Amino acid sequence: MSVEVAVIGAGAAGMMAAITAAAGGARVVLYEKNERVGKKLLATGNGKCNLSNVDMDIAHYYTADPRLATCVLEELSVSDTVRLFNGMGMMVKEKKGYLYPFSEQASTVLDILRLRMEELLIEVVCGCEVVAIERAEYDKLRVKTVDGNIDSYDSVILACGSRAALRKTDVFGGYRLAAALGHSIVPVVPALVQLRCRENYMKSLAGVRCQALLTLVTDGISGQKEQGELQFTEYGISGIPVFQFSRLAAYDLLEKRDVAVDVDFFPDYDDTAYKELTEERYRFGEGKALADFLLGMANKKINRTMILLSGCKGTDIVARLGKKKIEEILWKYKKLRLHITSVNSFEQAQVCAGGVPLHEVSESLESLLIPHLYFAGEILDVDGRCGGYNLQWAWSSGHMAGNAALRFRLPD
């Protein structure tokens, strides 16, 4: 008699878990509350699906248990993942270490996974929300759905993702299912998300994209630094460097701490080199109007903002303002402090931080509280940086949970 496995959630981790268990000989039922599988997968990598990264160092992940997280990632490594997708018929390409389907279409990844599930005769039940998981006789687990249906399984894999990208009206029951079985939930916050600023001049900067070095400042203490393309919005800041430390900002704000971001528009100049630059510009620009003097320093919208912050006018003559005032204006380009009031909502977030803590699962991702219950994907308290890390966690944890669920055997 084959092992019967239920997988809750048909995202990347859930589909990988279902495929792995079914390939091992299990009869698998995959439950998905949405009307179709892999909805969130289609939006990853701006529709191109950055599915992994050749630089798979644990330093790219936020986790309270790096050892266990590393074991999971080694269960299905990056090279294993590429071979697995190649074996399912999908070619993979590398761009600066980032891995994509050769077509650069997220739909290709989803179609390949769906085709494989069909080949393995996985029963996919869409539009069906699981409302409870309970212990049953003979060490089995019962799965109850919103329509009142109840089925028993040898193993259950909880892979229903997180609140990220869900609309405010959407109901997410994954944490509730885990909590009802006795698991604790590390506070969940949006991650890989935009930050909202207190400054009233953000609208005037909206649409600007530029290279910058960003420093997260908490209670006046400088912390993580990120460099890359900064994007200004009507309400704040966005872009990959912002996303990379947004989860840290979210937790700091949750703890009512003072959060700011220092922006350096000239990261390639150290203070000495920048001082020389400012002196040279002043020497050759004393006779210019301030707006003309700043021309060429940065985007015109940034220059206008610097003039606004200085309390001067664009028509003011540099020499009349004096060297000290000009230096004050120019050094704002090296350190513009933006005060963070909040992170954007779960609806705008790519992933979430928080969830079921790793100390409540075994090395095979089995619950330490409920035998034959496994976790995979974003519902666990592991989240990665931008660059394919969260999808690799989905593939690896789904593969591990799918394999582990096969270990259950009925007594002779």
- In order of start, what are the domains of the chain with their CATH numbers? 4-189+353-407 (3.50.50.60), 194-343 (no CATH)
Whole-number pLDDT of residue 411:
41
Q: Name the pairing type of β-strands 98-101 and 27-32.
A: unpaired
The CA-based angle 103-106-112, given to 5 degrees, is 80
CA distances (Å), origin 224, targets 19, 230, 244, 253:
38, 15, 9, 15
- Whole-model pTM over 0.85: yes
> How many whole angstroms separate alpha carbon 258 and alpha carbon 369?
38
The model's pLDDT over 269-293, given as tens digits with 9 standing for 90+, comes to 999 999 999 999 999 999 999 999 9
Do the Cβ atoms of 209 and 265 come closer than 8 Å? Answer: no
Whole-number pLDDT of residue 23:
97
Contacts of 178 (CB under 8 A, 6+ apart): 158, 185, 356, 375, 379
3-state secondary structure the chain: CCCEEEEECCCHHHHHHHHHHHHCCCEEEEEECCCCCCCCHHHHHHHCCCCEECCCCHHHEEECCHHHHHHHHHHCCHHHHHHHHHHCCCCEEEECCEEEECCCCHHHHHHHHHHHHHHCCCEEEECCCEEEEEECHHHCEEEEECCCCEEEECEEEECCCCCCCCCCCCCCCHHHHHHHCCCCCEEEEEECCCEEECCCCHHHHCCCEEEEEEEEEECCEEEEEEEEEEEECCCEEECHHHHHHHHHHHHHHHCCCCEEEEEECCCCCCHHHHHHHHHHHHHHHCCCEHHHHHECCECHHHHHHHHHHHCCCCCCEHHHHCHHHHHHHHHCCCCEEEEEEEECCHHHCCEEEEEECHHHECCCCEECCCCCEEECHHHECEEECCCCHHHHHHHHHHHHHHHHHHHCCCCC
**Phi, psi for 139 (deg, rounded to 5):** 60, 25
Contacts of 18 (CB under 8 A, 6+ apart): 5, 7, 10, 28, 30, 117, 120, 122, 157, 402
Whole-number pLDDT of residue 171:
55
**Phi, psi for 302 (deg, rounded to 5):** -70, -45
- Where b means 16+ CB within 10 Å and e means fewer, 314-335 reads eebebeebeeebbeebbebbbe
Q: Which two tokens stand for residue 79?
A: 């090279």
Whole-number pLDDT of residue 168:
64
Q: Which residue has the tokens 């990959």?
A: 240
Whole-number pLDDT of residue 412:
38
Q: Name the pairing type of β-strands 209-218 and 259-264.
A: antiparallel
Whole-number pLDDT of residue 408:
57
Do the Cβ atoms of 19 and 111 come closer than 8 Å? Answer: no
Nearest-Å Rg of the Cα atoms of the chain is 25
Backbone angle region of 354, left / alpha / beta, with phi > 0 → left and psi within -120 to 50 → alpha:
left
> How many whole angstroms separate alpha carbon 408 and alpha carbon 31?
20
Q: Which two tokens stand for residue 138?
A: 């003979």
Residue type, 253: L
The model's pLDDT over 231-274, given as tens digits with 9 standing for 90+, comes to 999 999 999 999 999 999 999 999 999 999 999 999 999 999 99
Nearest residue to 40 via CA among 172, 131, 132, 144: 172
Q: Counting every residue, how long is the chain?
A: 412
| Low-confidence residues in the chain, pLDDT < 50 | 409-412
